[in-house]
Amino acid sequence: MPNTYAWTFPTLTAYPEYASQTDVVYTVHWILTGDDGNGHTGSVYGTQALAYVAGSPFTPYAQLTEAQVQGWVVDAMGPTQVAALEANIDGQIQQQITPTNVNLPPPWSAQPAQA
């Protein structure tokens, strides 16, 4: 089963006033999470700058939707960057499924009792 991905946007940074508009979002803080459906997850986070051009269509802040903001972020990033983020998450998930390294206690330290 292929991994599924979900965007969340915990914070939107806005200018209180810009180009005769109020609460103009110019930075979106995002988290992209992936899930393989078997309990393995990965995530990446960052920010995406946006530019509002005076006179362009404007959605008042209170009317913004998560889908609209996701569209802005994905469009601003472009498909290559989105694919790279998903590949990063895929790698995190694969590392959980098939670890390439493990952290072990020193052999001289007390070991937990075996059941």
CB–CB of 44/1 below 8 Å? no
pLDDT recorded at residue 48: 99
Distance CA 81, CA 76 (A): 9
Count of beta carbons in the 10 Å neighbourhood of residue 73: 21
pLDDT recorded at residue 115: 58
pLDDT in 10s for each residue of the chain, 115 residues: 799 999 999 999 999 999 999 999 999 999 999 999 999 999 999 999 999 999 999 999 999 999 999 999 999 999 999 999 999 999 999 999 999 998 999 999 876 666 5
Q: Give me the DSSP letters along 21-89.
A: EEEEEEEEEEEEEEE-SSS-EEEEEEEEE--PPTTS----GGG--HHHHHHHHHHHH-HHHHHHHHHHH
pLDDT recorded at residue 109: 86
